[in-house]
Amino acid sequence: MLKQNLVLIGNGMAGVRTLEELLKLDSDLYNITVFGEEPYGNYNRIMLSPVLASEKTIDEIMLNDEQWYIDNNITLHKGKKVTEIQRGRQQVVTDDGITVPYDRLIIATGSTPFMLPLPGADKEGVIGFRDIKDVNTMMSATENYKKAVVIGGGLLGLEAANGLMKQGMDVTVVHLGGSLMDRQLDEPASEMLRQSLEERGMKFLMKHSSSEVLGDERVTGLRFNDGTEVEADLLVMAVGIKPNFALAKSAGLYCERGIVVNDTMQSYDPKIYAVGECVQHRGIAYGLVAPLWDQAKVCANHLANFGIARYEGTVTSTKLKVTGIELFSAGDFIGNENTEEIVFKDAATGTYKKIVLEDDKIKGAVMYGDTVDGSWYFQMMKDGTDVSAFRDTLLFGQAHLGDSGHNPETRVAGLPDDAEICGCNGVCKGDIVNAINEHKIFTLDEVRAHTKASASCGSCTGLVESLLSHTVGGDYSATPSTKPVCGCTDATHDEVREGIINMQLTTMKAVREEFQWRNADGCASCRPALNYYLLCAFPETYVDDPQSRFINERAHGNIQKDGTYSVVPRMFGGLCTAQQLRDIADIADKYKVPEMKVTGGQRIDMFGIKKEDLPPMWNDLSNAGFVSGHAYAKGLRTVKTCVGEKWCRFGTQNSTGLGVKLEELTWGSWMPHKFKIAVSGCPRNCAEATIKDFGVVCVDSGYELHVAGNGGIKVRVTDLLCKVQTEEDVLEYCAAFTQFYREDAHYLERTAPWIERVGLAKVQKALEEPEQRKALAERFAISQKKAQIDPWKERAQGTEALEFAPIKVSALGELV
């Protein structure tokens, strides 16, 4: 097929990121030509401040060197300015006469620094702060001059001032307003920042309006409206940026504050796309990098003819790139008459936090000194999480974080390189930083791919994101709230689940075709997810795909590090008879089980089982009356109980009996992730019901129902769902809650992060109406009816090379 011509005007971060995303989708669709005005490859513009401060070099902030363009068959024209877009002929023309045709055109001309139109602003030594040339000019000035003035007390101005001060210059910051970074910080945080910078030697002239640049050929000072003056050998204007859309406007494209684009990043000319700081989307022109990444991904999706992605705007956050100063802000941190504020301030330690809430949802946050939980607040703000269930501890961050001994007081940026960040995978800070720098990483998913940090339990995600933000700058690509199912598609979990129901997509093939999967057969990440979503949506008709199961689930044994398996028969409520113990002992002797252990889930685990012994062993266990304990499945694992009122002098209800009923109700059910239940016979909570996915605490007047606990690496205490009076109520609520979790959560999302994402209020609302609760419980019963009666022989077909003998239906349940 004849390739089309794709031309990119602008060799900056947004445009080249679009090409990177496009090459992932289809590397053979276009002949690609890139024009860049600067004589360099693509570099990380947001890291110019550390270059000015001599913390990084130009080479270290290069994202794509010239070899990258060669390797990807991209024609790069460095130092070439496109002066004309001839839309009728579909070609672009440069200032030196180069003409290149296009079938599709991307405009990514970025922005230009806003220069105050002051008398004398054209003198030598008056510059903006936008590119490598500006940095080189400032670095050269530091060799011969000592006094610098920076106009602008915003983010860019302070970073420029800090860099010049690190180069030995005497720096004064001039600001029109009364508060530094007044677009990113409130007054208390701004004042703490000013005091900290003054302690470092930076000077400030607040509420000063500039009137004239002094000097003959070179700047010597700056005069203000009140007649006062300040000396200056170098004057940096950092008062803002403006979208650079003059070229697009001259070509007749519709522009307002920028090039107006729709949700597919198309301009009013459908052959011309635009991304980055030069565009205006839904009335907004973005000046941060995170939105540019989102735009690039959407634009690439449509250039590759997938046509399913939409850009709907980006919620942004800000961090200052000044070493030793930690601040973070996001959203509406000022608030209004409809909002509430939660504030913490400790001047002695230099810590300040303010969270703005509206209807128990985070609308904005500003933090100074301790910012390690900024990513956590930011994600909840983007997700619209209801925080009412934990707002009393919200200000203290993820204080329940149990991973590797880290806590919110730890400054991740100040940790030594050998400090462990991800306890699950043993990943240290230095490993992550090195991967970020070596592979030019900007996203959490990329960190996970290269280091496995945050890829397991997820409790270190906030630390990894903070480290990512600190390393690449505050505008890194934060974890999106609409994360795709996997790399095969841009469709999210919610979009896929909604599509399965609304369009009655009853097979994995139908789902992949409808959502234009890039890999026709899917991958190891999406196949189990799609299999689960279809099984949940159509429990009576969908035929489960055993090959989309984890080996542990297919073999009904938990694979161990030596390649053998452990087998766990279910013991309902932890109850057993002497005969059952004899049966287990006889079976253990028969298969020469080298080790057995009584587990914390009130069962017996048999280790060292050979793969070929699994089918006959389960046959023997089945004949003895045992079913699978599913200790290896994405489903119900255990129901932990105490002895309750029958034996315990403190017991208030029959907790063991209720636990057995709950286990009989829920065993064999597929879930998005593992699921644990506990029933404690009194408020002393010996069964630890308040750290389970569904917990029951028996009290004199009935039963307290608790949900979304986690007793693993990241300990999370449950939220109180409600209080009921009868066992029948407990069973109905358990079935309804479980089904709502099954239908609403993403695959591999446990109840704890699910509740934190959607909010407890959503779950309570779904269960409080009796008819809706009953309907959920009935749907769960339908799924259970099939889960617990499907023939094992039929379910076992095609599983690895294991030949399972026909055994009793109940022996293995649904989880094949």
Residue set of the binding site: 642, 648, 682, 686
- Interacting residues of 406 by C-beta distance below 8 A, sequence separation 6+: 421, 460, 463
CA angle 453, 55, 434 (to 5 degrees): 25
Chain position carrying tokens 């270190």: 460
Chain position carrying tokens 């579909």: 90
Q: Rounded to whole angstroms, how far apart are CA atoms 68 and 481?
A: 31
Residue 744, both tokens? 């609403």
Chain position carrying tokens 């007793």: 711
Q: What is the 3-state secondary structure (H, E, C) of 578-590?
A: HHHHHHHHHHHHH
545 CB neighbour count, 10 Å cutoff: 17
- Interacting residues of 115 by C-beta distance below 8 A, sequence separation 6+: 121, 126, 128, 237
Tell me the three state secondary structure of residue 367.
Answer: strand
Check if the beta carbon of residue 273 is closer than 8 Å to that of residue 266.
Answer: yes
Residue 656, both tokens? 């063991």
Q: Which residues are annotated as a binding site for [4Fe-4S] cluster?
A: 642, 648, 682, 686
Find the length of the chain.
816
Exposed (0-12), middle (13-18) or buried (19+): which is 346, by Cβ within 10 Å? exposed
Tell me the three state secondary structure of residue 697.
Answer: strand
Extended beta strands in 708-815, E state = 719-724
Q: What are residue 35's phi and psi, to 5 degrees?
A: -115, 130
Q: Which of 91, 63, 94, 89 is nearest to 78 (CA)?
A: 94
Q: Give the HSE-up count for residue 461: Cα atoms under 13 Å, Cβ half-sphere.
A: 19
Residue 244, both tokens? 């650079």
- Transcribe 270-303 into DSSP letters: TTEEE-STTEEETTB---SHHHHHHHHHHHHHHH
Burial code (b: 16+ CB inside 10 Å, e: under 16) for 553-580 equals: bbbbbbeeeeebbbbbbbbbbbebeeeb
β-bridge partners, 606: 567, 596
Q: Which of 390, 400, 398, 392 is nearest to 720 (CA)?
A: 390
Q: Rounded to whole angstroms, how far apart are CA atoms 419 and 406?
A: 10
Check if the beta carbon of residue 728 is closer than 8 Å to that of residue 718.
Answer: no
409 CB neighbour count, 10 Å cutoff: 12
Q: Rounded to whole angstroms, how far apart are CA atoms 278 and 265?
A: 12
Chain position carrying tokens 């409520």: 573
Q: Rounded to whole angstroms, how far apart are CA atoms 468 and 413?
A: 10
Q: Categorise residue 89: left if φ over 0, alpha if ψ from -120 to 50, beta otherwise.
A: alpha
Q: Rounded to whole angstroms, how far apart are CA atoms 239 and 798?
A: 66
β-bridge partners, 325: none
Check if the beta carbon of residue 802 is closer than 8 Å to that of residue 796.
Answer: yes
β-bridge partners, 607: 595
Q: Which residues are annotated as a binding site for siroheme?
A: 686
Beta strands 30-36 and 42-43 are unpaired
Residue 815, both tokens? 């989880």
Check if the beta carbon of residue 48 is closer than 8 Å to that of residue 131.
Answer: yes
CA 374 to chain centre: 13
Exposed (0-12), middle (13-18) or buried (19+): which is 400, by Cβ within 10 Å? middle
Distances (CA, A) of 536 to 113, 669, 724: 54, 10, 28
